[in-house]
Structures are given as structure tokens and as C-alpha cells.
Amino acid sequence: MAGGRRAPAICQEYKISVAQELMNAMPDPFARAPDEALLIAFANGDAEAARALTVRLLPRVLAQATRMLANTAEAEDVAQESMIRLWKQATEWRQGEALVSTWLYRVTANLCTDILRKRRGGVSLDQIAEPTDGTPSVADQMQTNTRMQALSDALAALPERQAQAVALRHLEGLSNPEIAQIMDISVRSVESLTARGKRALADIMAGRKAELGYDDD
Amino acid sequence: MMMTDHNDDMLEDIFAQARAVASTPSDDLMARVLAGAVPPTPPVISAPPTSVGKRLLDMLGGWPAVSGLVTATFAGVWIGVAPPASIQDYTAAYFGDEVSVSIFNDDAVFATGDLTDG
């Protein structure tokens, strides 16, 4: 009986290695295609292009929304809505005018600030984003969640354009020219928005320093 | 000044923690997004006309072409029925005058006098 069970295991292993070799021999046709090419392929009826585009872009969109909102459910709703808007835009996409990623950053940032605006009336208490690396203790994880929520609430208190500029600069790590393109403003305006936004954010967060686990010394 | 530096350090630390947040889309979210990715339907191509008259009309080039044909036909018939003088001169010059030729001698056809005489 045991011998009978071993044989299929070897066969399965062989099958996997063959499949792996086949995959290596035939690279994914979508792997090197630019986002725009995939979007146009989708607009022409290629459902596989949409799948490839989703696998490539959805994690980034979800991460952006999670960082700004610190709320998994809201971030998922925003990510879904951003992607649905992308599908709707596909047939009217103007080639060479904007990068798909730039367009998505803009749509996601706008959807997030819409939610932050609504949140100003009453602070959302159900969170949370998941911390990534290592296996932090429950206390550390709670501390991180509290900080992320405090950051999101502070962003909600900023004027919308400042909140978007600060989030794109300091949470997404984008350059000022990239942010200028996303927000459709000049680089100088981006510099001004991020500087004022960061200063306002620091002032707001200063009041919660002890709560967030930062000593005053 | 020191306080501001502390605040900036705190903010930078929180920014760094936020950047480290990983967001792996759940299977449910992937499914929801892909469910919305319905490829646009291609434009509906209208069925070709089925009636013989319609197909003939299309073959000739539609109403504009047919109206030209009808006008030309009527013009041709009218010129045949009531040709203008200039046309008559032209045809006379081209084809020559109309001439009647008889292959019989009018006088001899029905003459029987010689036979009865013999």
C-alpha cells in the first residue's frame, strides 16, 4: 500500500518539473507587455489581458488605498472601484497620453480622499492594515495599527490636495515630477503642497505622540 | 526647534512603517475585480438586406446612382421620340439622306397584256 502511494508522488514530481520546463520554454506572452498594451488588448476583447493587468496592478492599488485609509474593507472597496473604472476607461483610452499607473494613482487618491472627507464627521475605528515583515508581537502589531490609523486620521484632517500630495510623496515614495503628472499641477505646486502638508501632519501627530509610543525626550 | 525635529523623526518613522505595509489582494477581491472586467462587446453588424430589389439597388450603387440612370433613360427616350433639329442635322450628315429604293418596276409588276396577246 505504501509502495503504491509512492509511485504517483514520483509521477507528480516529474509532471511538475516538466510543466516548469514548459513554462520556462514558453514565457508568459503578457509578462513583457506594457500596461497600455494589455489595456488595449482587453478593450479588443482579450479577457486574459485583463487578468494579467489585474495581477500586475491590483496589489499596488490596494497598497496605496490601505496606506491612506488604514482600513482593509475600505481599501478593498477603493481598489475594486479603481480597477472597475479602468475597465470602463479601456475603450476610450487615449494611447500615449498618460501611463496606466499614473491614471490609477490619480483615481485611487481621489477615491481615498473622498472617504477621508466623509470620515471627518466621525473617526472610523475598525481597521486594519497588516504589518509585513517578521512576526511582530501582538503588542507591536497593535502599536503599528494605532499609528497607521492615526496617520490616516491626520491625512483626513488636511486639505484634500495636501493629503494627496503628502501620501503620494511619503507613503508611495513617488518623485515630485511624478506627483505633478498624477495631480496635473506644476512641480513647484507639488513642493509647496507636500511641505505644507507634512508640517500640518507633524503638528496634528504631535498631540498623539505618547499614545503612539514616541517619547518626548 | 528640538520639538519640531522630534515630530519630524516621529513622522518619518510612521511614514516608513506605512510604506512597509503589504497588501496582498484576497482571492475574493481578485474575483470581484475580474468579474467586472467584461470585455466590451464588439459593435453589432447589421444583417445584409434580403430583398432582391434592395440588393439590386445596392448593386447599382444606391438611390443616387439609380436616379442618374433613370434620368439618362428618359432623356434617351425623349430624344428618340422628338429629336431636336440639331440632332437631326447631325444624323443626316452621318448616315446620309433617307432614300427609298424599289426593286420592282411599278409598271410591269401587274402587267399581263403581253401574255394574253400571245
Domain ranges of chain A: 33-206
Q: Confidence band (pLDDT; 50, 70, 90) for B63?
A: confident
Residue B47 DSSP one-character state: P
Identify the burial level of A108 via C-beta atoms within 10 angstroms of its C-beta, where 0-12 means exposed, 13-18 middle and 19 or more buried: buried
* Distance of alpha carbon A198 from alpha carbon A128, whole angstroms: 23
- The topology (CATH level 3) of A33-206 is Butyryl-CoA Dehydrogenase, subunit A; domain 3 (1.20.140)
**CB within 8 Å: A132 and B20:** yes
More confident residue, B65 or A9: B65
Interface residue B17 vs chain A (CB under 8 A): yes
Q: Mean pLDDT, to the nearest integer, of B24-38?
A: 93
The pLDDT value given to residue B106: 63
- Is a pLDDT exceeding 60 seen at residue A149? yes
8 A C-beta contact, residue A75 and residue A65:
yes
> Which of A:166-205 have CB within 8 Å of B?
170-173, 198, 201-203, 205
**CB within 8 Å: A205 and B26:** no
Tens digits of residue pLDDT in A12-63: 444 445 545 544 555 567 778 899 999 999 999 888 999 999 999 999 999 9
8 A C-beta contact, residue A158 and residue B11:
no
Which residues does chain A have within 8 Å of residue B1's beta carbon, measured at their own beta carbons? none
8 A C-beta contact, residue A182 and residue A102:
yes
A80, A85, A87, A91 alpha-carbon torsion, rounded to 10°? 180
Query: How many CA within 13 A on the CB side of residue A14?
Result: 6
Interface residue B43 vs chain A (CB under 8 A): no
The pLDDT value given to residue A141: 81
> Which of A:63-122 have CB within 8 Å of B?
63, 65-67, 75-76, 79-80, 83-84, 87, 90-91
The three three-digit cell numbers of residue A118, written as one number: 466623509
* Distance of alpha carbon A79 from alpha carbon A57, whole angstroms: 10
Tens digits of residue pLDDT in A66-107: 999 999 999 999 999 999 999 999 988 988 888 999 999 999
